[in-house]
Structure 1
Amino acid sequence: MSTPDPSTEDELKALEELGYEEARDQLAEVVRALESGGSALAESLTLWQRGEKLAQVCQARLDGARALVESARADDATTG
């Protein structure tokens, strides 16, 4: 497998800074672009990588929110 383009790696790294809603919206755009089927193979692979990263960002944000809710419930249960 070839080494990813450094600029693509930087772009994927920058996605980690997105909030949930922005990452979700961008992921929806990637899915639409991939489903349209009008992209060359190289562009489709780049879109796929971006989509994978955006999905990871969304999942991380959801996991973080879930942990906060569970922590708040646990704190409430011990003090309530």
Structure 2
Amino acid sequence: MSDTPVSEMTFEQAMSELEQVLSQLERGDVALDESIALYERGAELKKRCEAKLKEAEEKVAAITLDAEGNPTGTTHVEGQ
């Protein structure tokens, strides 16, 4: 697992680590205590991925298009 706090991870970092966590859990060869810790870490990573995807969707939605379909600018997205 990464030493980077989940709250500071990029989408790609969180997704990569989530895949590693899932792989370890699916193998089933970890102790119960470690499985619980992995599950908790996985839940945090999933939440981070969802938040980063929502941010990206909001940025895309904020782009306005002119009559020809060209971007005309962006509107302020909350949290930016």
Bin of the TM-score, shorter chain as denominator length: 0.7 to 0.9
Structure 1, gaps ≥5 residues long: 1-10
What is the percent sequence identity of the aligned residues?
A: 34
Normalised by the size of structure 1, how large is the TM-score? 0.75
Runs of 4+ in 1 over 4 A off after TM superposition: none
Q: 1:46 aligns with which of 37, 40, 50?
A: 37
- Whose strand fraction is larger, Structure 1's or Structure 2's? 2
Gaps of 5+ in 2: 67-71, 73-80
- Normalization by structure 2: what TM-score? 0.75
| Higher RCO (Cα < 8 Å, 6 or more apart) | 1
* Partner deviation per Cα, 1:4-60 (whole Å, 9 max, x = no partner): xxxxxxx79x21100000100000000000000001111000000000000000000
CA RMSD of aligned residues (A): 2.0
Aligned residues: 66
More helix by share: 1
